[in-house]
Amino acid sequence: MMAGAGASPYELASDAASRLGIAVGAEELATLASDLDLGDGEMAAVAATFSYLAEKRRLASIETLLRLSRLPRREPKTFEGFDFSRIQGRDAAALGKLPSLADLYAHRNVAFVGPGGIGKTHLAQAYGRECCMRGLKTYYIKATELRDRFQKAVQRGNTSRVVSSLVKPSCLIIDEVGRCVYDRPCTDLFFDVVDRRYEKEGPNAMVLTSNIAPSGWDEFFTGDDTLLCALDRLFDKASVFVMRGPSYRGRELDTYSVEAVPQAVKVRGIQPEGM
């Protein structure tokens, strides 16, 4: 628990120490200060030092999470960079609540469905980035990349390790579902991931994007009706945002209309009239 306003230097130092993973109480620090003849000013300096180190450690952890997430780093997508004012409709407010990560803590999957360029991938990546900022493991992968990874895992005989790696993150983002078809072995592995994540404890959500409504996703997986019923588990608890409207791409595109005019032809050795 963060020490509040008006807290003593010992409480502040204890709080900062806990963020460094050091369990030391305010009373213990007060006793130590007395033994070392340290005043409040000196303990305040200790608390400030601990706090600085704790923040430095937090930022380093976030940097590591972002690096391992595979989220784009050059032009990161954030909730702050998304124009929520473009989104209209009676359920628009629900989209604005995404930064709270309430779905993740409620074990609800999230899907963004709609035409290209409307902002689905932006929102999915922003969701993952917010998870990283809060110290939660995130992993981003496109559906085509996931299929290729499954195929290689089958060939190499390491499917268990690959599936486990996709179960570990608190937030698993699969972008562009429907861009490829999964064969039977890949379909088996996909739904193994879904099943294991369904039973996963702690903050947990899958975030998916697609141009196709979830009711049509069975076309992209290969299997019998029993296997494809696993799609129901994917959306057993989920928030599906069906997005409509003009493309978000090209909003900063400037188009210039220009015309080339013919040039006068110069013939060597002949001077234009009047020269």
205-210/171-177 β-pairing? parallel
Contact 115, 211 (CB under 8 A): yes
Query: In CATH terms, is domain 84-242 a member of 2.60.40.10?
Result: no
The pLDDT of residue 229 is: 77
- The per-residue pLDDT for range 160-201, each reduced to its tens digit, is 999 999 999 999 999 999 999 999 999 999 999 999 999 999
Q: Is there a contact between 165 and 96 (Cβ–Cβ < 8 Å)?
A: no
Burial of residue 233, with CB atoms counted within 10 A of its CB: 0-12 exposed, 13-18 middle, 19 or more buried = middle
Q: Report the distance separating Cα 30 and Cα 210, nearest Å.
A: 57
H/E element holding 214? none
Note if the pTM is more than 0.85: no
Q: Looking at this protein, which amino acid is placed at residue 178?
A: G
Radius of gyration of the chain measured on its C-alpha atoms: 28
Question: What is the per-residue pLDDT across 69-113, written as a single tens digit (0 to 9) for each?
Answer: 999 999 999 999 998 887 777 778 888 899 999 999 999 999 999
| Nearest alpha carbon to residue 240 among 109, 87, 122 | 109
* Strand positions, DSSP E, the chain: 109-113, 138-142, 171-177, 205-210, 238-242
Higher pLDDT, 35 or 87: 35
Residue 61 CB neighbour total at 10 angstroms: 12
Partners of residue 109 on adjacent β-strands: 238
pLDDT for the residue 257: 39
